[in-house]
Structure 1
């Protein structure tokens, strides 16, 4: 009792307790209040006062595509020009990797040159792995792509690889240019930062609706969506990398007479290249993460195979295609990381050697490409991996899932029922019962309490936008699912991070697990979850928890490791047990990092929630998916903006809380 009085005596604690109690009471009795006062507006936002944004956006998009003129050319001409710039390199990449080069159309097409053989492509990737690091990476590259050939995923994998080969350079170079411009111009950075926030928080499905409208159905539209999705991290990493270049290096460049152009491209960018390659790695991983989603508007490849398997509930085929994406993601992730840490000085060659000896791998690749081309005229299996030699794990995975469902169905159902009864449904009733007017007021109050007047106005306006758009109910389902998923992810991830920070063996195991989870594209999580738990909120929660677990672990471990050793030493001297040391020193001092980890967990959870609309959720993600299936750009953009506003509100509130925690603990930014 004394402890409760102490807690309630604190102004901050009193604020949160009173706010939660008031919200709980209104949520529980909102329907009774509505019936007593006969005031429907308490529950439902008045239809007459809704913002007519959906129809206006749809009409604007229609005008943009059909009637908009930019003087010498129409907007449709502009989109066709952009599409042609992307389509040419993409067709070349597909021809080089899988289709071969031909002239003519349809039945009249005549092949003039075959694609690279599967052997030549594997040797090329082995060469890149050895060039970037060592034989170990070369073996990994060869093994991963040989797996794709042996298990019958080669053709689809090459279509996906062609998309990656086009999207990654455009995303990386475009992000680099925008980052350099933002580095040079504070005004441009101030303009582009909220744009980047929207690009990273608007659900990927929402990208697809206007892009489908502008570019039509097909691989070009899918590539445009992929580039938009993958570019923002490169911009942010570029700005950070350029600012982290030591001022001494800049000074040396100025002293030797470099122009601004020379200083940037010959001094600053090369000095920042290791961190810039980290950005390229992020572009690669986000591109692979997008391939399944982009298959909805014509990307094809492995993503289309996964999507088709999900729609047909083809367990074996879905897992096979999903594993193929994972294998490719692991290979490309390790290769890009190797290039990021590669030191050119370690790869110097004697300039007196002949060309072949100076560039042995290039020579080897050319010899193999020409040799396999010639041999393929006699042995077709040299050009394309022979079908009779392919293996399939589809039946195995189907049998495994069938065995699990038959023998452990009751256990899974019991776990599912327990979660639904004691966690999911009570939380859902709480959030879906919150009246929209009180929700706006409460969020405005929270913004003021945490970050002052500016944050208060922003949270209030964003929350009001969601209500005025007629999406309050869907938004509350989104908040409920995200909240529960983040709670479970934090309950699992933070202890894992603490354990990893304090035990080297556990750190190695946890890091391996988290690296694997971060490499998996988001759609891959849905396959086993749907097979084991069917569709619904519980399945969505499991998929979101798996996808969003990584930042909770990493930030917790980072926060615990960065606690000042002197504070730990002081705790030991004063006689603290390991438990007291953790709860009274390490965790309080790591609170800012834990809040930042919570922030990132929420961001990932929201991005995954939109994808879980495919497994039966009834939230904003479902609205975005419905908009995609109907090509309704107005609904898609409004629902996408609502998700983005929820993400931005969470981001700003948690960032402000982390800042306050650091100030309270006396930590510098």
Structure 2
């Protein structure tokens, strides 16, 4: 019996075992629902350890918090004191230097919006934390990146640490920091540094390794010492990658500063958005959310523009004034703006009578829109919840009822459902589509009983078997231990709720995003329309994405699902379009010369060749969905994200950190699975 046949037989046995346990077992049986009496009491252990740690080291962290509060308060007060035209002029000069007059105009209008709507003080409070956290995060990331570049052993320690830091939900960062450093803006500063430095580490290691051997050899031949070789040869050669790392670190810091405002005490724009969302104030939350989006886009475009510059040689030949013209012009204009602010009171503080705040009109528009389209909104929410989400969550057996579907799920209907699933599975099997047949049988069982009610024992065995197929014994063992840890600490039910919502969102994002990406690769006009939308969604902090869905569909899982899809769809679109646009020209030309139609070229040549890149997009879609899932806990979802939020609200370190690590485990298992599939696919292709 071959390996392929053995794997098929194993899956038949596992699916049969799953069906048997569901039919013969009761919901209270240990192999379906893990008994509470068997749960390892890790939460009180972690809480006790944290209490002991705080008792012995609290003086140090509180002292550090008081020390860091001084520069935080100083920068906040300086930005509040600085007249808004001065900040606007300096930002415009930096924008022009980074990417030209168009970005300068956009930045000026963005800052003017913050002034006109009356959110300038809150915006400056958020900006002050970004100004402090970004240099510290870049410095920490650079040091770790250099260490990992120089030492193979260090890299083996650093990379798993980065994986954990980048997969643990953002909320989970806040809880231990809040307990150690106390209440206040310093929590946002520390959390931003921890959350933002990993991209700098990765880009530093990548940039230093990409320096060509010819450049290094040239430096050695010139007599450079090891120190000179590093600082005067390697670093300048890797500067582009280092600046990209700084850009990614900056955007991560902006995102975390906004998220950290959930604990309050910051009086920044993130807290303003959260406050308005909680009060269901649509107009106010949109106006504040636009401020966050504009702030993020301005910072992103400026840092990305400087990262894309590569004119060191030509700049070295220019004079001082020519080389630093933007700095000189910006400084001169800033001084002039400062002097004018002492003469013109509106330049010092925007008059309240001049504030344009159309929140009431926006709220009225929303009320009229919901009133006119209430039937469509209600029908869309009802269909999605009762016909898609609920069957996946609790199964058709508990979903179909006169209240939800209009009829009972009678015994003949159940037998008909089973016969349909078996018929489809048999059709696929005898057509030689064995994997499709197995997928049909598994989905048939899942939809009948519901993901949250399936046997944990069989699901863990299935995931381990899949890990063995994709990555061998190492991945299978890691998957088994990781999932068993979720079972043992008692968060398996919450994990399945997270997988259910995240899974639906990923499927929708991957299918819809893939179709949009394919269309964008074939139709240039679609690509031009989609690209700025993707840029906006990717730079927009996660809080803002929640606003329109909460206001239209109210709090609940459906709003959370739409928010997750809106955020997670971006990598699917980007990677699909990128994979289809960057294929070998000779292969495309050969296929065209053989008489392939456009449809044949797409389905039989382009898509198979681009599949590894598209699957990388699936990997990123999963990561984005899990990241957004925690933010979606703010609008009433259940699962691990809600547990993290509960732990943060109650100051329960054990609950929050276990749930956070649980989400990291799900993310890393999914990441390893997609990487394993991609590696097997590329090996088969080569």
Q: Does structure 2 conserve the Cα–Cα contact (< 8 Å) formed by 1:117 and 1:369? A: no
C-alpha distance 386-599 of structure 1, shift in aligned 2 (>3 A) = same
CA distance in 1, matches of 2:18, 2:520: 37
CA distance in 1, matches of 2:338, 2:603: 66
C-alpha distance 585-230 of structure 1, shift in aligned 2 (>3 A) = same
**Residue number in structure 1 paired with 2:367:** 402
C-alpha distance 15-347 of structure 1, shift in aligned 2 (>3 A) = farther
C-alpha distance 602-23 of structure 1, shift in aligned 2 (>3 A) = farther
1:569 deviation in Å? 3.2
1:141 deviation in Å? 1.7
Structure 1 regions of 5+ residues with no counterpart? 1-8, 68-74, 99-114
C-alpha distance 11-299 of structure 1, shift in aligned 2 (>3 A) = farther
Q: Match of 1:41, SS?
A: coil
C-alpha distance 53-42 of structure 1, shift in aligned 2 (>3 A) = same
C-alpha distance 557-377 of structure 1, shift in aligned 2 (>3 A) = closer
CA distance in 1, matches of 2:491, 2:644: 12
Within 5 Å, give how 1:566-577 maps onto structure 2.
Answer: 566-577=586-597
**Residue number in structure 2 paired with 1:176:** 142
**Residue number in structure 2 paired with 1:3:** none
Aligned mate of 2:379, from 404, 411, 414: 414
C-alpha distance 266-85 of structure 1, shift in aligned 2 (>3 A) = farther
Q: Does structure 1 conserve the Cα–Cα contact (< 8 Å) formed by 2:85 and 2:338? A: no
Aligned mate of 2:47, from 58, 67, 70: 58
1:374 deviation in Å? 4.6
TM-score, scaled to structure 1: 0.89
Q: Does structure 2 conserve the Cα–Cα contact (< 8 Å) formed by 1:129 and 1:135? A: yes
* Aligned CA-pair RMSD: 2.2
Q: Does structure 2 conserve the Cα–Cα contact (< 8 Å) formed by 1:230 and 1:286? A: yes
CA deviation profile, 1:327-367 (whole Å, cap 9, x unmatched): 1111111111111122244556854x7x7x87554444444
1:135 deviation in Å? 2.0
TM-score, scaled to structure 2: 0.87
Within 5 Å, give how 1:472-551 maps onto structure 2.
Answer: 472-551=492-571
CA distance in 1, matches of 2:347, 2:526: 45
CA deviation profile, 1:209-249 (whole Å, cap 9, x unmatched): 11111111110011111111111111111111111111111
**Residue number in structure 2 paired with 1:34:** 26
**Residue number in structure 2 paired with 1:241:** 207
- Equivalenced residue count is 627
C-alpha distance 591-13 of structure 1, shift in aligned 2 (>3 A) = farther
CA distance in 1, matches of 2:5, 2:266: 55
Q: Does structure 2 conserve the Cα–Cα contact (< 8 Å) formed by 1:206 and 1:636? A: yes
1:89 deviation in Å? 2.6
CA deviation profile, 1:480-522 (whole Å, cap 9, x unmatched): 1111000000111111111222222222112122111111111
C-alpha distance 10-558 of structure 1, shift in aligned 2 (>3 A) = farther
CA deviation profile, 1:304-335 (whole Å, cap 9, x unmatched): 00010011111111101100111111111111
CA distance in 2, matches of 1:12, 1:335: 56
1:91 deviation in Å? 2.1
Residue 95 of structure 2 corresponds to residue 129 of structure 1: yes
Aligned mate of 1:445, from 465, 468, 478: 465
Residue 72 of structure 2 corresponds to residue 90 of structure 1: yes
Q: Does structure 1 conserve the Cα–Cα contact (< 8 Å) formed by 2:18 and 2:458? A: no
CA distance in 2, matches of 1:364, 1:574: 60
**Residue number in structure 1 paired with 2:275:** 308
1:85 deviation in Å? 5.1
Residue 373 of structure 2 corresponds to residue 391 of structure 1: no
CA distance in 2, matches of 1:641, 1:436: 19
CA distance in 1, matches of 2:177, 2:248: 22
CA distance in 2, matches of 1:63, 1:231: 28
CA deviation profile, 1:106-157 (whole Å, cap 9, x unmatched): xxxxxxxxx2111111111111122223222222221211111112111111
Residue 216 of structure 2 corresponds to residue 250 of structure 1: yes
CA deviation profile, 1:598-654 (whole Å, cap 9, x unmatched): 111000100110111111111110101000000000111111111000000000011
